[in-house]
């Protein structure tokens, strides 16, 4: 149980740090694109920021899935 919690917290912390660095690095980018979501459009965002957010979401979902699906140890 403690190993699962540690893995989940490590995944949350790592993705939070990646998102922080991504937000700091994407402030001065000039070329911005908007995404068409079908029901509306997003605000114009830099393309590197969009790719980075998808990377952060992948790290977060992969780490949390690994923590949830980890086999339990029977004493």
pLDDT given at position 52: 87
Nearest to 46 by CA among 29, 61, 63: 29
pLDDT given at position 75: 64
Query: Going residue by residue through the chain (75 aa), what tens digit of pLDDT does each one get?
Result: 788 888 889 999 999 999 898 888 877 777 788 878 888 888 888 878 888 888 999 999 998 898 888 887 766
Angle, alpha carbons 19-38-33 (nearest 5°): 45
- This prediction has a pTM of 0.74
**Cβ within 8 Å of residue 26, ≥6 positions away:** 45, 46, 48, 49, 52
pLDDT given at position 1: 76
pLDDT given at position 9: 92
């Amino acid at each position: 149980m403690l190993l699962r919690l540690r893995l989940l917290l490590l995944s949350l912390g790592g993705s939070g740090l990646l998102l922080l660095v991504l937000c700091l690095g994407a402030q001065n980018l000039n070329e911005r694109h908007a995404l068409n979501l079908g029901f509306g459009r997003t605000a114009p965002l830099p393309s590197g920021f969009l790719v980075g957010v998808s990377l952060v979401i992948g790290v977060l979902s992969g780490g949390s899935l690994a923590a949830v699906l980890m086999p339990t140890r029977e004493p």
